[in-house]
Copies of this chain bind each other. A is one copy, B any other.
Amino acid sequence: MKNSQNITWHHSSVSKKERHVRNGHKSCVLWFTGLSGSGKSTLANAVDYALFQEGCRSYVLDGDNIRHGLNSDLSFRPADRKENIRRIGEVAKLFVDSGIIVSSAFISPFQGDRELVRQMFETGEFVEIFVKCPIEVCEIRDPKGLYKKARQGEISEFTGISSPYETPDTPEIVIESHHLTIAQSVELIKKYLKDKKIL
């Protein structure tokens, strides 16, 4: 018992600012929102790759690493979709706190849910990127065959078909993915990050 009283266990921790200095850039979340097939995940990964090439610390949250992991207990019902977005927001916040530029790529169709996530962050840390693409184009792309299933009634509450997509009111960036190449889209996002002195 004597020993324990001699030991002073100070609590020290690394601040977000110290992590920014170490990394040579600030951290933020790039919140990609848009219809299924609009190119969110592809673009998020392309941005992540470009940032990595420039020596930045970055990461992507998308269906591939969230749906079967953290949010595997959630369905596509309204309450669960809301919780899905809330958790992704909270995880993104942890990554931002760790100094990383994190990209999240989820349909996130409801303005209210996206606003709740925005409010978790400090000013300037939440960068909403609307990946704008006509549903007709998304439906032709249909990379996962989901539109076909939705039209056949095999999927209920499918965004754009049987459930609404609420267009962002004031997104920080709009990417018209049916008019731009990936390289052009990535450049637009990098320019934004440089203009805002995040990079």
Q: Give the B-binding residues of A (Cβ under 8 A).
A: 1, 3-4, 7, 9-14, 18-19, 22, 39, 41-43, 45-46, 48-49, 52, 55, 57-61, 65, 69-70, 73, 83, 87, 90-91, 93-95, 97-100, 120, 133, 136-137, 140-141, 177-182
Which of the residues B3, B59, B94 comes within 8 Å of A65, measured between beta carbons? Answer: B94
* Least CB separation from A70: chain B residue: B90
Assuming A4-B178, A178-B4, A182-B10, is B49 touching A69 (CB within 8 A)? no
Which of the residues B45, B60, B181 comes within 8 Å of A7, measured between beta carbons? Answer: B181
In Å, the complex CA distance between A170 and B90 comes to 32
CB of A91 within 8 A of CB of B70, answer yes
Nearest 9 A/B pairs, CB to CB: A70-B90, A59-B98, A4-B178, A13-B45, A69-B90, A14-B52, A9-B42, A4-B137, A11-B42
Which of the residues B48, B90, B99 comes within 8 Å of A13, measured between beta carbons? Answer: B48
* Least CB separation from A1: chain B residue: B137
A-B contact pairs, 20 of them (CB 8 A): A1-B137, A3-B178, A4-B140, A7-B178, A9-B39, A9-B182, A13-B48, A13-B49, A14-B58, A18-B52, A22-B52, A59-B94, A59-B97, A69-B94, A70-B87, A70-B90, A70-B91, A70-B94, A73-B83, A87-B87
